[in-house]
Structure 1
Amino acid sequence: MPDSSKRPPRLILASSSPYRRELLERLRIPFDVLVPAIDETPLEGESPEDTALRLSQAKARAVAAGLATGERALIIGSDQVATYDGHQIGKPRTHDKALAQLQAMRGREVLFHSALCLLDSASDDAETVDVITKVRFRALSDAALDAYLHTETPYDCAGSAKAEGLGIALLDAIESDDPTALIGLPLIALTRMLLAAGYPLLEAQ
């Protein structure tokens, strides 16, 4: 009979995002997906960085609260907030709001705060990090922006552009320590956290 004490802890992605799920699948390790029920409204006077960090931890803790007593899991929470000139940019949800976002950002540099939390449900220890990506948008015409939105419909993406798809054509430059951060889940930071937590990342293939 296999020794259950040597099994790695359960890994849970606390997210409803298909993009984060697809990114985590790149690591080829087993994980479950549980959707946290939290209010993602920024607090009054809260900085974009603080919003992203708070929500990433809140998502992980919301999932941890629903686990069975004594169950150990490593729970991944993540949140992304975009900002330019001090304005926070959320998910547009509609075509008109997405177009307004892209019009406001063209020719500008936008900061994407991709916050990550790894929570150990047994010890309640939570490690968090904010990975910043600087993105400069091209100054494209209204017609080009409208055509892009109709093609890719990125209405569930902060910033209204999918950098992993056609949205890359809207961008003039990307600067980041982690190329996956802009898509929504910083895998370099996450693998660092998992290895530090003793998760057998490479041995679990």
Structure 2
Amino acid sequence: MSTRPVVPLVLASASPARRTTLQAAGLDPIVVVSGVDESQLVDLPPAELALQLAELKCAAVVGRDEVPAGALVLGCDSVLELDGEALGKPHDPDEARRRWQAMRGRSGVLHSGHCLHDTASGRVAAATGSTTVHFADVGDDEIDAYVATGEPLHVAGAFTIDGLGGAFIAGIEGDHHNVVGVSLPLLRELVLELGHGWPDLWR
């Protein structure tokens, strides 16, 4: 029987989709919500915005009492880039509807920033994953029905690929998990960069 010690992983995000993705990959993250005000960063390119928000979330959680000794703390944040503009969560149904009317039949780039802090060594590794998303040419009735579910109001870019919005995504170029909110291949690279093995995180 293996005596391999498991390195604790703390997820500094309230996203159930990120947690579910990590759990499906064999990890058992401890969720500690950062409470970071995402509106404090403005006028940054979309990919840089995603990374800096991830870094802020990670830093906000590292010193918390709920973080076990020797843990890796992961901060993540996602934004959709469309026409050079960074689109986070829509503020209301009208904005979500306008977003979809602008996105349908077109492509955007979903950027997910990742910041991983090793509390044992104090070292930090960070990077942004980017995936091109091709949106279906959905009709106004479909947009209205989707917005009415409430789902697009709570996610970056006003869509999911792993929920009700999945049928409205015609295809992607890049990592599927990155669109959900956490890129597993990219996270593995960050774990290795900090001197750990990916299987060390398996529960």
| TM-score with structure 1 setting the length | 0.86
**DSSP 3-state at the match of 1:182:** helix
Aligned alpha-carbon RMSD (Å)? 2.4
**Residue 139 of structure 1: aligned partner:** 137
Going from structure 1 to structure 2, the CA distance change for 1:10 and 1:45 (only over 3 Å counts) comes to: same
Going from structure 1 to structure 2, the CA distance change for 1:69 and 1:166 (only over 3 Å counts) comes to: closer
Q: For residues 19 and 66 of structure 2, what CA distance do their matches in structure 1 show?
A: 23
Question: Contact 1:180 / 1:186 at 8 angstroms: preserved in 2?
Answer: yes
**Residue 96 of structure 2: aligned partner:** 98
Q: Which residue among 63, 66, 69 is the counterpart of 1:65?
A: 63
**DSSP 3-state at the match of 1:24:** helix
- Please identify which structure carries the higher helix content: 2
Q: For residues 103 and 63 of structure 1, what CA distance do their matches in structure 2 show?
A: 37
Q: For residues 203 and 8 of structure 1, what CA distance do their matches in structure 2 show?
A: 5
Q: For residues 101 and 139 of structure 1, what CA distance do their matches in structure 2 show?
A: 13
Q: For residues 130 and 97 of structure 1, what CA distance do their matches in structure 2 show?
A: 26
Letter in 2 for 1:80: S
Q: Percent identity?
A: 34
Render the CA deviation track for 1:122-151: whole Å, top value 9, x for unaligned: 322111111111112222221121122334
2:106 matches 1:108: yes
**DSSP 3-state at the match of 2:180:** coil
How many residue pairs get matched? 200
Unaligned stretches of 5+ residues in structure 1? none
Instruction: Give runs of aligned pairs for residues 107-186 of structure 1, distance below 5 A.
Output: 107-151=105-149, 153-176=151-174, 178-186=175-183
Query: 1:202 Cα deviation (Å)?
Result: 6.3
Q: For residues 202 and 69 of structure 2, what CA distance do their matches in structure 1 show?
A: 20
Going from structure 1 to structure 2, the CA distance change for 1:117 and 1:143 (only over 3 Å counts) comes to: same
Unaligned stretches of 5+ residues in structure 2? none
Letter in 1 for 2:84: G
Q: Which residue among 25, 34, 38 is the counterpart of 1:27?
A: 25
Q: For residues 101 and 67 of structure 2, what CA distance do their matches in structure 1 show?
A: 49
**DSSP 3-state at the match of 2:72:** strand
Q: For residues 105 and 201 of structure 2, what CA distance do their matches in structure 1 show?
A: 45
Letter in 2 for 1:185: V
| TM-score with structure 2 setting the length | 0.87
Question: Contact 1:29 / 1:201 at 8 angstroms: preserved in 2?
Answer: no
Question: Contact 1:134 / 1:174 at 8 angstroms: preserved in 2?
Answer: yes
Larger CA Rg, structure 1 vs 2: 1
Q: For residues 68 and 170 of structure 2, what CA distance do their matches in structure 1 show?
A: 49
Query: 1:181 Cα deviation (Å)?
Result: 0.5
